Copies of this chain bind each other. A is one copy, B any other.
């Protein structure tokens, strides 16, 4: 089955201790859509300006991504510039130029409204609502978010939580949302806000799934060199959703393994700037790394 990915499509200028790269393909939807494309057909919904490089359109196409929902508007593509410190856990935003993204309304092509798997990648909760309002009985809805929306659109986000099967957020966001220092306690509190499944991303420390049947601890794939972590979280959730869409039966039954594939694709993402490493990956390489990761947690 296919996955609808709605989120930001951007150009990222990124500086890390390993180098500096301007105007890479970025944005939550780009990372998530490419990651999902290894497992299932993907429909991307986003907006770019008329400066959007043709090579990035070709990149999406090489991954078989349906671009009927990618709006092209007069003006500039969303541009983000940021810099990472040596430990890669702290980053500083240098520039945020919203461009055409400022007026983005994710109106879905008719053909997209019956997509069974919906990934509401990181965008304003109001836009995530707008997408859900257009969908016809999706099978599984996952929302990602970020601290910005907790700060400026909390009410919208809280309403959204009642409409999704799973919420994905990082540990500091889980703490902020629940005012609870302990991440496990925070995850449990989030269930009461709506989502049956809560996935807390912890970067290099992996991710946690809290579900009605208990916890699952998903490891990160250990890397001895992180070149650029931008988009790793989006890759994680994109691969997870792609994996769920590619399997038969209840999506819930595949969440654990989906998170493992999420960790694997996120690890490839971190090995290069932007999407440069992810786009060179094969399904076989993903399977191999998933097997390695399994070996590293078995005892």
Contact = CB atoms under 8 A, between A and B. Distances in A.
A118 to B, nearest CB: 24
Interface string A194-214: 000000001011101000001
Nearest to A209: B296
A222 B215 CA distance: 8
Determine chain A's interface SS by DSSP, over half rule. mixed
Contacts of A260: 299
Contacts of A217: 206, 219, 222, 296-297
A224 B185 contact: yes
A287 to B, nearest CB: 14
A76 interface: no
A296 B214 contact: yes
A192 interface: no
A92 interface: no
Nearest to A180: B224
Given A299-B216, A299-B260, A184 B87 contact: no
A22 B148 CA distance: 42
A244 B260 CA distance: 30
A158 interface: no
Contacts of A295: 214
Given A185-B224, A185-B225, A215 B296 contact: yes
Point out which of A214, A216, A217, A226 has the most chain B C-beta atoms below 10 A from its C-beta.
Answer: A217
Nearest to A260: B299
Contacts of A219: 217, 219, 297
A205 B296 CA distance: 15
Given A202-B205, A205-B202, A217-B219, A224 B296 contact: no
Interface of A: 86-88, 181-185, 188, 202, 204-206, 208, 214-217, 219, 222-226, 256-257, 259-260, 294-297, 299
Given A182-B225, A206-B217, 20 more contacts: A86-B181, A87-B181, A88-B182, A182-B226, A183-B204, A184-B223, A188-B224, A208-B222, A214-B295, A214-B296, A215-B222, A215-B296, A217-B219, A217-B222, A217-B296, A217-B297, A219-B219, A256-B299, A260-B299, A297-B297
